[in-house]
Structure 1
């Protein structure tokens, strides 16, 4: 068994991206093993992933497996199980060094540089940005980077040993209950926790500043990308790993849906990189076949869609310890589903219509304008002091975790 491995995590609908990563590793680093941890269930699908080691997360024996799959959305859940698979790999394989890469990454060169860093450090991280700007020019605001975390956990490396194991066990404990993307709690999935790592472990942690590692839209402003005779370079160094974060394959000319500053119009040097990536996913990785596959943990056992606020209500119940549901996906007697039903908190009329509404909600400008006019009228009627108190109250109660009063009937 090889001593080096890369793994990624994906739901079924993201397997096209995960396979592209896998094939890029096979081409550039054939001696490195590649695993896909499926944050989902196969559900009888032919995933056509025989070229790689594919493991369902439900087989890992995670103690709070159903709870985590329910209270977390797909991104939160996928990131929460990362340290559990690190633990699994060290306990069940003879790997000495492990790299994690997000599924929307591609490897373009030999990874020896990264594995060699794990000869010196017990863990390695990559910052979002590595150059200071008084007049900041990035596509992602500095405030946003402060919120999501200094380091991008689309990349992480760890070596076997006492320190590495301590990091993994610590991270597992944190992500079991605190892997939400929640500004109110200063959480952004697994990333914010790793801001602690350099202060907790000091010189055991390596902060990589290689410009060709975890290159992405958020550091595009600080790095010069060049295509020389078919080989990619960043600030004159070989591109090792590119992170296609936020890419919509059908609109790859926009580079990323999370920003509007850059596109192929003003960054034409990226044209071949992005086109080849999309072609690879479409021609070899089954992108179209995978992208609409149903996420198993998006619905209850009867197929009813789990609305995001229901996950947050469940989180509130866990915080209060008012109920104990062995499996919140169940729909029978004394289930979480029954509790929602008894309190008229289910939305089961038209799941597809609701999902479309949820996606387009930020575009309801006219509705927001009417609501703002209503608030102005309310302020005039009750005065600024009472209006201020109501807004303070709503600021807290707008979080569904705080709305346990909705459960008038215990089920």
Structure 2
């Protein structure tokens, strides 16, 4: 059995529902779970905003020092820091899944992921690099940005439920409890830099370079998108093979700014990349249909901005590791 999941707070449930809808259409035999970093009782969502998919609230996991993580992290850091804890929970659940696959909520899956399922029969981990070809200029993002944020994009990771993956997850949990921060000066960008070590520390780690995987603003200089006979495909700008689009990652796209491909990139506009326009119109419409405007009004119950600012300011002033600061404060 394959279990796919995402993680979000209530404000991102439109994205999670859109991901779930795409998985239900393309991979209906998979189990899909929304890991919720929020409190449903506090949110008190009306019935029409409750997703049709299973939701697992983060407090169910029993994460050690979860309260401290809430104090130390902002909403992005917290939602990424709990990722290995959710994976570990699913690894131990019953019925025991053969593999666990994580997708960021702002992803649409376009194909049955048979290639991925086959890869997880022999590989313990499957990860995708941000880019597999040199960036053409110094617009954002370029290779220096990827050095700052990590070689691999952790909006996706596939794990076979085996001892190697379990060893990796155990190690990842320890690192993210205190060091899942956006702090480029200290070489940290949430959960991503840590995974640079995965293919070094462990065997059976597949670095998946298929151009249909995890297509996003950071690699569209390598890939042209087109719809053929009702299916999306990825074309090589240099004239190489055309492959089916497996899943697209709409990172940094917001319904409130529909004219921007991503708030994190400066390389392309939609006028320069008309091939992307229908793909983003599709996503825009699905988010609106799934209640994006309503969900955005709900703040995450676990994030206290003043407390996060306190931790960050004091840590930088004293120049001490976050773990040491947490010990002092407690």
Q: TM-score, normalised by structure 1?
A: 0.73
2:221 equivalent in structure 1: 221
**Structure 1, residues 38-89: CA drift from partner, whole Å, max 9, x if none?**
1122214226334111011112100111001110111111111000010000
**Which of 5, 9, 13 lines up with 1:15 in the alignment?**
13
Q: For the Cα contact (< 8 Å) 2:212–2:233, is it kept in 1?
A: yes
**1:259-307 CA distance string (max 9 Å, x none):** 2321221111111111111111111x111110121111233xxxxx526
5 Å-filtered alignment, 1:9-88, equals 9-42=7-40, 43-46=42-45, 48-88=49-89
Give the Cα–Cα distance (whole angstroms) in 2 for the partners of residues 295 and 56 of structure 1. 12
Q: Note closer, same or farther for the CA distance 1:69–1:321 as it changes in structure 2 (3 Å cut).
A: closer
**Cα separation, 2, equivalents of 1:74 and 1:176:** 14
By how many angstroms is 1:209 displaced?
0.6
Residue of structure 1 aligned with 2:98, choices 73, 87, 96: 96
CA contact (8 A) 1:179 1:188 kept: yes
**Distance in 2 (alpha carbons) for counterparts of 1:167 and 1:137:** 34
Residue 92 of structure 1, CA deviation: 1.1
Q: Where does residue 212 of structure 1 map in the other structure?
A: 212
Contact 1:7 1:34 in 2 (8 A): yes
Q: Is the 8 A contact 2:73 2:308 kept in 1?
A: no
Q: Tell me, yes or no, if structure 1 residue 188 matches structure 2 residue 192.
A: no
> Deviation string for 1:198-245 (max 9, x for gaps)?
11114x100001101100011011112112232111121111110000
- What CA distance in whole angstroms lies between the structure 2 residues aligned with 1:318 and 1:85? 22
Shift, 1:253, TM fit: 2.5
CA distance in 1, matches of 2:264, 2:256: 15
Whole-angstrom distance in 2 between the partners of 1:320 and 1:98: 34
CA-CA distance at 1:324 after TM superposition: 4.2
SS at 1:40 equivalent: coil
Q: 2:126 & 2:327 partners in 1: Cα distance?
A: 41
Q: For residue 295 of structure 1, what is the aligned residue in structure 2?
A: 300
Cα distance in 2, alignment partners of residues 138 and 101 from structure 1: 27
Q: CA deviation at 1:138?
A: 6.2
* CA shift digits 1:123-145 (9 cap, x unpaired): 01000001235x54764121111
The answer to whether the 8 A contact 1:138-1:221 is kept is no
Q: Secondary structure of 2:84's partner? A: helix
Q: Which residue of 2 aligns with 1:250?
A: 256
2:324 aligned counterpart, secondary structure: helix
Question: Matches of 1:10 and 1:250 in 2, distance apart?
Answer: 19
* Structure 1 residue 322: Cα displacement: 6.4
Which structure has the greater CA radius of gyration?
1
Partners of 1:99 and 1:221 in 2: CA distance: 26
**Mapping for residues 310-325 of structure 1, pairs under 5 Å:** 310-313=310-313, 318-320=323-325, 323-325=328-330
Aligned residues of 2:68 and 2:326 also touching (Cα < 8 A): no
| Corresponding residue SS for 1:157 | strand
- TM-score by structure 2 length? 0.91
State how far apart, in whole Å, the 2-side matches of 1:122 and 1:10 are: 25
Seen in structure 2, the aligned counterparts of structure 1 residues 209 and 321 have a Cα distance that, compared at 3 Å, is closer
Alignment of 1:338-357 (within 5 A): none
Contact persistence 1:139–1:262 (CA under 8 A): no
Provide, for residues 84-133 of structure 1, a one-character-per-residue CA deviation record: whole Å limited to 9, x for no partner.
01000011132111110001111011111111111121001000001235
Whether the aligned pair in 1 keeps the contact of 2:126 and 2:208 (CA below 8 Å) is: yes
Alpha-carbon contact 2:8-2:16 (below 8 Å) kept? yes
Which residue, 115, 118, 132 being the options, matches 1:116?
118
For residue 105 of structure 1, the aligned residue among 107, 131, 134 is 107
**Counterpart Cα distance in 1 of 2:29 and 2:313:** 47
Give structure 1 stretches of 5+ with no counterpart. 300-304, 326-411
Distance 2:234 2:18 in 1: 21
Structure 2 gaps, min length 5:
236-241
Are 1:139 and 1:217, in contact at CA under 8 Å, matched by a contact in 2? Answer: no
What is the CA–CA distance in structure 2 between the aligned matches of 1:214 and 1:228, rounded to whole Å? 19
Task: Evaluate the alpha carbon distance shift between residue 321 and residue 95 of structure 1 in structure 2; reply closer, same or farther with a 3 A threshold.
Answer: closer
Would you say the 8 A contact 2:261–2:270 is kept in 1? Answer: yes
Q: Number of paired residues?
A: 315
More helix by share: 1
1:13 to 1:311, Cα distance in 2 relative to 1, 3 A: farther
Structure with the higher fraction of residues in strand conformation? 2
